[in-house]
Amino acid sequence: MNLFDLTGKKALVTGAGSPSGLGRAMAQALQEQGAEVAILSRSARIFDIAREDGFFGIQADLVDREALKRGFDEALAHLGALDILVNAHGITKVHPAETFPVAEWDKMLEINLTSVFLLCQMAARIMIPKAHGKIINLASMTTFFGSTLIPSYAASKGGVGQLTRALANEWAGQGINVNAIAPGYMDTEMTAGLKTNHARRQEIFMRIPAGRFGTAGDIKGIAVFLASQASDYVHGAIIPVDGGYLGR
């Protein structure tokens, strides 16, 4: 028996609109193990990625709750069922806390936290009747510590951690696994600014025992594990993939 086989499973992955992003890598990983995958993003690049990788692409802005529901329903209509939900979408904005714009705060919480809850809720309504399902959220290093200049991002990712645990408490007994992956510093579009900030980049490197930033490929294995029957007794976990950053 292959514990990691996903043949016949139906998966929705959000936030897969970046060519080098974590969402795309996780979608590829699920597909490589046999799952049929729909991907959802606000970016129009989603259709290019879907065409290149053989996914079903859906464009929807998750800050808009009606668009979120439409995108989810479109994915479900195409897949015909839902076994796996991966919430990999998110944004960040950098401002000092004392001048952080309230409108940016609201948008961040809506996209990074509220939309995650709504997608989990819609998925659970499908998964509970069949007593099986896998929900994977994307946490962060800021789920564990506060950082600086990104108060709304830190608050939202702290919330994702607690939401993951809360939903696991409610749904584990109904056959649904809710867990989260907490990526460390990954070489993606979101961390592109660090490439021009040599001092900050070196500061981070000094705390990573692995001696490098992570890549999108580094996230594939944990995504397959949490989506497969290999993790059937794993509930409410927030698993770091950080090159040892948290252990330093």
Q: Is residue 153 among the annotated active site residues?
A: yes
The answer to whether the beta carbons of residues 82 and 100 sit under 8 Å apart is: no
Beta bridge partners of 186: 214
Beta bridge partners of 176: 133
Residues 6 or more apart whose CB falls under 8 angstroms from that of 76 comprise 12, 82, 126
The answer to whether the beta carbons of residues 207 and 240 sit under 8 Å apart is: no
Residues in the chain: 248
Catalytic residue among 153, 185, 233, 245: 153
Classify strands 10-14 and 36-41 as parallel, antiparallel or unpaired.
parallel
Q: Single out the residue of 1, 8, 16, 41 nearest to residue 223, CA to CA.
A: 16
Beta bridge partners of 86: 13, 136
Residues with a catalytic annotation lie at 153
